[in-house]
Structure 1
Amino acid sequence: MQLLIYLAKKAVLRCWGVCVHPLHNMYARWLLYSSNAVHGPGLCSFGIPDVRISRGRSHSVRCRIGREFTMRNGSHGVSRSSQRCLISVDRDGVLRIGDRVGISNAVIICTRSVTIGNDVKAGFGVHIMDTDFHALDPEARRGPDDLLQRRSAPVRIGENVFIGAGTFILKG
C-alpha cells in the first residue's frame, strides 16, 4: 500500500511539473524581458525566480544571459527548499552569464560586475556577491555615509566550473 501511495504521489508531482513548467518558463522570460535583460535561446526555469534588475543611468543592458540557461527555484530545486533564485543587478552593475549555465536556488547580487563563464554549474544555495552591502567600519555603519563607504569588486568565474552547494563567493 505504501508503494502504491508513493508511486501515485510521484506521478501527480511529475504531471504537475510538466503542466506548470511552461508557465514558469514564460513568466521567467517575461520577468527578464521587463527588466531589460537579454537571454539566449533555451532558457529553462523550474519555478519562478526573483528578478531585480535596475534600469541604470544609461539604457545599456545590465544583464546578459547566454544560451541554455537553467535555473531551479523553490521546491523545484534539488533540495525542495522554498528558496527561489535571486538575480539582482544594481543600477551601476553589469551581470554576464555564459552559455549552458545551471543554478539551483542560487543568489546572484551584482552592484558592479559579475561574470560567469560557459558550462558553469552552481549547487543549491550558492551565493555570488560583489559587494559588502555596507561599510565595514562599525562607526561608519552608524552614520549617514554607510552606503557610500560600501566596497565592491568584480567577480569573475571561469569556464567549466562546478560550485558546490552552500558556497559563498564574495567580492574580488
Structure 2
Amino acid sequence: MKLIRKFYRGLRFVYYETARMYSWVITRFKFYLNDVKFHNDFISYGIPILDISPDSSFTIGKKFRFNSGKYHAMGGRQQQCYFVAAKGGEIIIGDNVGVTSIAIICHSKISIGNNVKIGINTVIYDTDFHSLDAKVRNQYPESIEGVKRRPVIIHDGVFIGGHTTILKGVTIGENAIVGAGSVVFQDIPAEQIWAGNPARFVKNTYSNELKKVVNE
C-alpha cells in the first residue's frame, strides 16, 4: 500500500508540473492571438478564457501569476480565469499580481496596480451590462443604449478576499483589504479594511494604526 501511495503522489507531482508547462505554452499563444502585451516571466497554473476585442487593450506587468480551473489552488467554486474586454475597453494589470479563478469584465477601464492579490472567484465589472430604464431594458432585441460604465481602479498593495464582487466606478486605495464575500460599490480609502454586503468600513490596517501611534 505504501508503494501505491508513493506512486500516486509521484504521479500527481508529475501531472501538476506537466500541466504548469503546457498551460504556460498555451496561455502564451492565447495572449499572442489576442494582442495582449505581456512578459514571459508569468506563471500559469491552468488556462484562462480570453475575449479581447480588436478595439480594446490588455496589458500585463512582470511576474503575473494566476490559477485557472478546478485543479489549481482548490478553494471551492473553481472556474477558469476570464479576461474580457469589449470594444473600447482597457485592462491594465501591474507587476507582481497574483489571482485565482477571477473574472475581469471590462467595457471601460479596469486598472490593477502592483503587488495586488485577488482571491478565488472574485469578479470585477465596470459596467451595468443592462439599462436601468425598464423601457429600454425590455425592448426586443434589448437595447444597450445608455448602459452605465465607469472605470475601476485598484491601487498598489491591495488584498481582495475570495468571492468578492467589485462594481463599476470603484476605486480601492493603496494597501486596502477587502474581506471575503464582499460586494463593493463605493470607494475604499487607502490602508483600511472593509467587508460585507454592501462592504463597509471595519477598521484601519495594521500599517495605518502604526502610523497613528507614531504620530501621537
Please report the TM-score for the alignment, with normalisation by the length of structure 2: 0.72
The answer on 1:135 being equivalent to 2:131 is yes
Query: Structure 2 vs 1, CA of residues 117 and 148 (structure 1 numbering), >3 Å: closer, same or farther?
Result: same
Aligned match of 1:76 = 72
Moved more, 3-12 or 136-145: 3-12
Aligned match of 2:159 = 162
Percent identity over paired residues = 33
Aligned match of 1:41 = 40
Match of 1:63 among 58, 63, 66: 58
**Which one has a larger percent helix, Structure 1 or Structure 2?**
1
Matches of 2:157 and 2:107 in 1, distance apart? 24
What is the identity, as a one-letter code, of the residue corresponding to 2:166? I
Query: Structure 2 vs 1, CA of residues 150 and 5 (structure 1 numbering), >3 Å: closer, same or farther?
Result: farther
Gaps of 5+ in 1: none
Matches of 1:107 and 1:5 in 2, distance apart? 39
Aligned match of 2:27 = 28
Query: Shift in Å at residue 105 of structure 1?
Result: 0.3
1:78–1:104 Cα contact (<8 Å) kept: no
Moved more, 5-14 or 37-46: 5-14
Please report the TM-score for the alignment, with normalisation by the length of structure 1: 0.89
1:124–1:165 Cα contact (<8 Å) kept: yes
RMSD: 1.8
Match of 2:147 among 146, 150, 158: 150
Aligned match of 1:109 = 105
Matches of 1:7 and 1:85 in 2, distance apart? 32
Matches of 2:138 and 2:38 in 1, distance apart? 40
Residues matched between the structures, number? 167
1:48–1:73 Cα contact (<8 Å) kept: yes
